[in-house]
Amino acid sequence: MVQIGYTMMTEQAGPRDLVDHVVRAEEAGFDFSVTSDHYFPWLRSQGHSPYAWAVLGAAAQATSRIPLMTYVTCPTFRYHPAVVAQKAATLQLLSEGRFRLGLGSGENLNEHVVGGGWPSVDVRHEMFEEAVEIIRALFEGGHVNHRGTHFDVESARLWDLPDEAPPIGVAVSGERSCELAGRLGDLVIATEPKAGLLEAFDRHGGRGKPRVGQLPVCYDPDRDAAVKRAHSQFRWFGSGWKVNSELPHPDSFEAATQFVTQDDVAEAIPCGDDPDAFVDAVRPYAEAGFTEVALVQIGGESQPAYLDWSEKTLLPALRDAFG
């Protein structure tokens, strides 16, 4: 059985629209939702990047059933981990237990804005591990004092704590991040259907924990229009995490993807209105062992039509295929 999720893609829609979309996703029957947490869009053509945590607060009040999750928040540069812990505890209260805190080591695209530079991946992993330890300590209640390699915490306490702390998800892309996820996370997050990532997660303590994947799709009755839109807004997706985490600006992604063709995108992303193509795209995640897959419909203005089609056609087809 694979649960199917809806992605509030903050890079492609404004805050009010994002909340309207997740309300409709709940009505359509999606099993869960996730929200990106960006300061910049990947490409200028996407055109948005509101503050994800304000959107999540509004979404928690506007919905009643659908789970919410950051996919993902970096707790080491733009946000101090003590502040991330406070935000997550508040979201868990507002949503009445529907929130999961998805965390990752970040992308230069979003984190450079605070002027702290962009260290090597080894240092980012060190910072990430220390940040998760701080967040978990604050979730336990009481005052926290911390003098670490990368962070200090001075007599911090969360005064509004939920009965159950938000589960923490850790994004992975290689062996080191899988080790961190298995040891520190309650679930694992990935954007590629690689069984090897889940196997590494299991080796390091992740066995039996949820595993959440994400997949871009582009519904449109006009397949050519879908391919064109996917190329315009999502051609960065196939660059891989080692590239995507390093580039500092949408213009950098424009330059890095200038030779990606529409045919390249159409091979990697299901486009059009054939539900079988979307089922085939989810299948590698199911076969790799993912328990949840969040779909990203490309194009902010296309969400209402996509959600209507999902309710009538796509979700039934996916459930027939994967339970």
Q: What is the set of active-site residues? A: 38, 107
The answer to whether the beta carbons of residues 218 and 229 sit under 8 Å apart is yes
Look at the block and give the residue holding tokens 């030779």: 259
Strands 68-69 and 99-103 turn out to be parallel
Cα–Cα nearest to 10, from 36, 45, 39, 34 = 36
Rounded distance between C-alpha atoms, residue 6 and residue 63, angstroms: 13
Chain centroid to CA 277: 23
Phi, psi of 35 (to 5 degrees): -135, 125
Chain centroid to CA 257: 22
103 SS3 class: strand
- The encoded tokens of residue 5 equal 């999720």
